[in-house]
Amino acid sequence: MAGVPQFGDLRAELAYRDRPAAFGLCEREGRIALVIVDKPGFAPWLDLPGGAIDPGESAAQAVVREFGEETGLRISAGEAFAHADQFFVNTDGEAFNNRATFMSVSWLGEAPALKIEDDHTLVWIDPHEAIERLRHDAHAWAVSAWLRRVVAPGRASR
């Protein structure tokens, strides 16, 4: 996609596969939903809920499914507000270029039966703190882009 920012370090010795992905930004009471991912042998990290788009899925369908699997929350997908790519190597050593769609999502309620990823824990964090702590630069950039959309309409013109 032309004009999409690219994040992450490209290691020449790795072949990165494109991976369409969708991530959701859900706000409640001034905080946003994130997941702490805690995999054996790795230090825990913070991500926006979301992940790979399965074949035949839309970005909206993927973010609803992934959000439920990771957080146990039922959400509805809103508009896509940003797109960014992120080179990364997963914990299995696979190299990907996440071709991410970032979407605003609305919280509909708790749905514990949806949660199947036991290594993901839902946390609610101030968005400014999230920008500092998120693992992927593309996620931090997306939170910043979302904040500008939320704050910008209320800013006084100079």
Question: In this predicted structure, what is the pLDDT of residue 108?
Answer: 97
What DSSP designation does 134 have? B
The first and second tokens of residue 110, run together, are 């708790």
d(CA 117, CA 69): 6
Closest by CA to 131, choosing from 146, 149, 119, 153, is 146
Question: In this predicted structure, what is the pLDDT of residue 153?
Answer: 58
Question: In this predicted structure, what is the pLDDT of residue 57?
Answer: 98
d(CA 102, CA 112): 24
pLDDT in tens, the chain (158 residues): 568 999 999 999 999 999 999 999 999 999 999 999 999 999 999 999 999 999 999 999 999 999 999 999 999 999 999 999 999 999 999 999 999 999 999 999 999 999 999 999 999 999 999 999 999 999 999 999 999 987 665 554 43
Indicate left, alpha or beta for 71 from its phi (over 0: left) and psi (-120 to 50: alpha): alpha
Helix (H, G, I), strand (E, B) or coil at 112: helix
Is the distance from CB of 62 to CB of 54 less than 8 angstroms? yes
